[in-house]
């Protein structure tokens, strides 16, 4: 399995992510046609809980496992991760099933319960898939991640459109069936990557390998989990706050236009730049492991610079071409909904840059050995998002555009604080990795002699 260079790896995984996002965005065209604004609102109301459980059972795993694999000295770490996070995925699926009815009652939408039950099995399969992706990324092979992401979307689009069309007369079941398509896509993609792993995993040595402690796996994946869980928790709180505070009679449809349509468009540039985040980890981690923090910081700045150069022009294109993008992707919306969506895309175009910088800087902090710092910034930004959303919708006439402005502010806070942490952590020598891979103060010569 040949290791790819930073640029090649970034291009491969970015291409996969971009194609995946384009398919996801195009998928919204027939989906909006079949489900309408209210159906899209129900569709989006399910995802915050799903993302929270997915965060606990899967988010942070690819970057964390990639960090451990690329740093060296952690042979078999993925097997320990498979065992632990497979069990966590099963628990997550069960929790989503149990919470389906209470969530539907909380959000005031009965159809949410069935949707959650259709989607819950995918929590387990994404957990296993994430471990495999992290293993391959750590070994510098981005093909499995890119291929599996594209295959996921292709299957979801094909099966989801078929189900939505067949059951379009029953809105609740139509939405639930499209979420069942998500589960089907995860099952098939997981099976494909698992086969890839079995084929390409290194041969076991003749001697018995020392088992990698679970604590070493958790030392990276848990902080990253807390980083990732902040966003869906914020979105869940935002969905409740926004829908309940909006004065419009069709608050669910307004939130569907914002969260299901505008955010989908705004996230497209971030899918292009995701490859720079994933490819930065294998290059930065060995340098940080050896204590070469300035060189590691320079590589982090390089990744951030490329991310900015790619995302900024895309954000300008989104702002200028908002009407064209809306007509192409969401032509079935009503004229009023289309005008609202254009306004939201123009307002949130700047977030295409800050989201991209945020995900790259978060990966760089993990590679530098500071995943906790990334978690802190993400939690703070989520608090800013929910608080501003409540204030702007509840106390101004901005309506749903208040949520868009709040999101802009939150993404900027996360990217800015991550950038400050990278400057601080890469500028000195006092906090480096010891030879066992633990983060702490590097021993001086006298201490080494005593040892």
| Length of the chain in terms of residues written | 451
Place of tokens 């071409």: 321
> Half-sphere exposure (CA, 13 Å, Cβ side) for 445?
0
Mean pLDDT of the chain: 81
* pLDDT of 10 higher than 90: no
Domain ranges of the chain: 6-200+213-440
- pLDDT tens per residue, range 299-339: 888 889 989 999 999 999 999 999 998 888 787 788 988 99
Please provide residue 73's backbone torsions phi and psi, each rounded to the nearest 5 degrees: 75, 15
Extract the tokens encoding 161: 């459109």
CB-based contacts of 194, cutoff 8 Å, min separation 6: 128, 132
State the DSSP H helix or E strand holding residue 441, giving kind and residue range, or none if neither.
strand 439-441
CB-based contacts of 433, cutoff 8 Å, min separation 6: 288, 289, 290, 291, 369, 439, 440, 442
**pLDDT band at residue 232 under the 50/70/90 scheme:** confident
Query: What pLDDT is stored for residue 320 in this prediction?
Result: 94
* pLDDT of 447 higher than 60: no
The percentage of residues in the chain with a pLDDT greater than 70, rounded to a whole number, is 87
Extract the tokens encoding 393: 């919708």
Place of tokens 């005008």: 339
Helix, strand, coil share (%) of the chain residues, nearest 5:
80, 0, 15
- pLDDT tens per residue, range 184-223: 999 999 888 888 888 876 665 544 556 667 777 777 777 7
| Nearest partner of 135 among 272, 281, 8, judged by Cα | 281
- pLDDT tens per residue, range 54-91: 777 776 677 777 777 776 555 667 777 888 888 888 99
- pLDDT tens per residue, range 105-141: 887 788 889 999 999 999 999 988 888 888 888 777 7
Query: What pLDDT is stored for residue 314 in this prediction?
Result: 92
Q: Which residues pair with 439 in a beta bridge?
A: 433
What's the farthest any 2 CA atoms get from each other in the chain? 77
- pLDDT tens per residue, range 343-369: 999 999 999 999 999 989 988 888 887
Query: What pLDDT is stored for residue 73 in this prediction?
Result: 57
**pLDDT band at residue 419 under the 50/70/90 scheme:** very high
Query: What pLDDT is stored for residue 369 in this prediction?
Result: 78
Query: What pLDDT is stored for residue 347 in this prediction?
Result: 95
* pTM given for the model: 0.68
Query: What pLDDT is stored for residue 170 in this prediction?
Result: 87
Query: What pLDDT is stored for residue 450 in this prediction?
Result: 36
CB-based contacts of 102, cutoff 8 Å, min separation 6: none
* pLDDT of 432 higher than 60: no
């Amino acid at each position: 399995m040949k290791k790819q260079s930073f640029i090649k790896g970034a291009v491969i995984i970015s291409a996969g992510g971009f194609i995946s996002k384009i398919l996801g965005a195009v998928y919204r065209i027939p989906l909006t046609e079949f489900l309408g604004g209210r159906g899209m609102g129900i569709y989006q109301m399910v995802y915050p809980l799903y993302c929270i459980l997915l965060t606990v059972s899967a988010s942070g795993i690819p970057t964390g496992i990639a960090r451990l694999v690329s740093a060296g000295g952690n042979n078999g770490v993925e097997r320990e991760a498979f065992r632990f996070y497979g069990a966590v995925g099963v628990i997550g699926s069960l929790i989503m099933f149990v919470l389906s009815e209470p969530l539907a009652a909380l959000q005031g939408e009965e159809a949410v319960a069935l949707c959650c039950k259709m989607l819950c099995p995918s929590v387990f399969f994404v957990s296993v898939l994430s471990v495999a992706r992290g293993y391959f990324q750590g070994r510098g092979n981005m093909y499995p991640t890119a291929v599996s992401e594209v295959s996921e979307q292709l299957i979801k689009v094909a099966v989801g459109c078929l189900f939505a069309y067949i059951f379009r007369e029953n809105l609740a079941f139509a939405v639930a069936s499209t979420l069942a398509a998500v589960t089907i896509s995860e099952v098939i993609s997981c099976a494909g990557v698992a086969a890839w792993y079995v084929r390409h995993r290194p041969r076991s040595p003749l001697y018995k390998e020392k088992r990698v402690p679970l604590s070493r796996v958790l030392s990276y994946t848990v902080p990253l989990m807390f980083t990732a869980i902040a966003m869906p928790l914020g979105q869940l709180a935002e969905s409740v706050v926004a829908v309940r505070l909006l004065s419009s009679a069709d608050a669910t449809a307004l939130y569907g236009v914002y969260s299901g349509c505008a955010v989908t468009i705004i996230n497209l540039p971030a899918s292009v730049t995701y490859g720079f985040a994933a490819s930065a980890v294998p290059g930065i981690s060995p340098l940080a492991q050896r204590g070469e923090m300035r060189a590691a910081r320079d590589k982090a700045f390089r990744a951030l610079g490329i991310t900015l150069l790619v995302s900024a022009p895309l954000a300008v294109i989104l702002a200028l071409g908002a009407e064209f993008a809306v007509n192409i992707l969401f032509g079935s919306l009503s004229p009023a909904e289309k005008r609202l969506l254009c306004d939201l895309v123009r307002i949130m175009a700047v977030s295409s840059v800050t989201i991209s910088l945020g995900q790259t800087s978060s990966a760089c902090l993990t590679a530098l050995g500071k995943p906790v710092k990334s978690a802190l910034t993400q939690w703070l930004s989520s608090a800013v998002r929910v608080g501003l959303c409540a204030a702007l919708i509840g106390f101004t006439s901005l309506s749903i555009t208040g949520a868009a402005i709040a999101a802009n502010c939150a993404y900027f806070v996360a990217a800015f604080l991550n950038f400050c942490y990278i400057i601080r952590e890469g500028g000195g020598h006092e906090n480096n990795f010891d030879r066992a891979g633990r983060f702490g103060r590097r021993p001086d010569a006298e201490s080494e002699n005593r040892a």
